[in-house]
Amino acid sequence: MSNGNVTAREEYRRRIQQRQTVVFGTVSAIMAVLLLLAMLVWSGVIPFPFKRDFSEAPDPNEIITPCLPEGATDPVDLAKINVNIYNSTTRTGLAGEVAGSLEKLDIVVSNTDNWGGESLQEPARIRTGSAGVEAAYTLAQFIPDAVIQFSPDQATETLDVVIGADWDGRLTTKQVAKEYPEGKLENVPECTPLEEATNN
């Protein structure tokens, strides 16, 4: 009788241990898989499954180039263009040098300073709000490979011109006339319609 009870008790304990082993093994395997998935998501190998647009912050480095307003093809009178010039490079005095060069075109330079953001590689980045798009396109004709960037916080026609490492001077009026013989402004390829850029 006693031996039978001991055997039954041992059998019961053995079954409990087997169950615990299965449960713990299953939980450990699930945790290992979840950990692996989390590491893959964190490293960007697989996308976050619950990613939603409304939870994303705007990318401060994204460059949106606005299209010209509908029907706007005539360049702005250079004497009516007002700019602030910022130097993002390590070349001392470059903002003042560029200011002098643009003032020879009758462009109004309101301010020169060092750029507080990241250093830029392009020759120049012309930052404009909705009111200065035509002026930005006009100025860009004089600076080959300049990047026009929409800046929604700029409420006036004044442009911010950030000079980058590839700055190599501007074109002359004659060079621009030769480059654009029809004397018209042209949209940058893959530009964003102004209304859409304003609403972003």
Percent over 70 (pLDDT), the chain: 90
pLDDT: which is higher, 15 or 84: 84
- The token pair at 14 is 């053995």
Helix (H) or strand (E) holding 176: helix 173-179
Label the pairing between strands 147-150 and 159-163.
unpaired
Report d(CA 110, CA 35) in Å as an integer. Answer: 56
pLDDT of 55 reads: 44
Mean pLDDT of the chain: 88
3-state SS of the chain: helix, strand, coil percent to 5? Answer: 40, 15, 45
pLDDT of 196 reads: 85
What is this structure's pTM?
Answer: 0.70
Q: What is the arithmetic mean of pLDDT over 83-109?
A: 97
pLDDT of 53 reads: 47
pLDDT of 98 reads: 97
- Report whether pLDDT(39) > 60: yes
pLDDT of 121 reads: 95
pLDDT: which is higher, 184 or 1: 184
pLDDT of 61 reads: 57
Give tens-digit pLDDT for 106-142: 999 999 999 998 999 999 999 999 999 999 999 999 9
| CA angle (13 as vertex; 11, 16 as ends), nearest 5 | 110
pLDDT: which is higher, 197 or 165: 165
Helical residues (DSSP H) of 43-140, grouped into ranges? 94-103, 133-140
What ranges make up the beta strands (E) of 137-181?
Answer: 147-150, 159-163
Report d(CA 190, CA 54) in Å as an integer. Answer: 25
- Report whether pLDDT(200) > 80: no
What ranges make up the beta strands (E) of 121-189?
Answer: 124-128, 147-150, 159-163
Give tens-digit pLDDT for 167-179: 999 999 999 999 9
pLDDT of 65 reads: 95
Number of Cβ atoms within 10 Å of the Cβ of 102: 21
Q: What is the arithmetic mean of pLDDT over 77-106?
A: 97
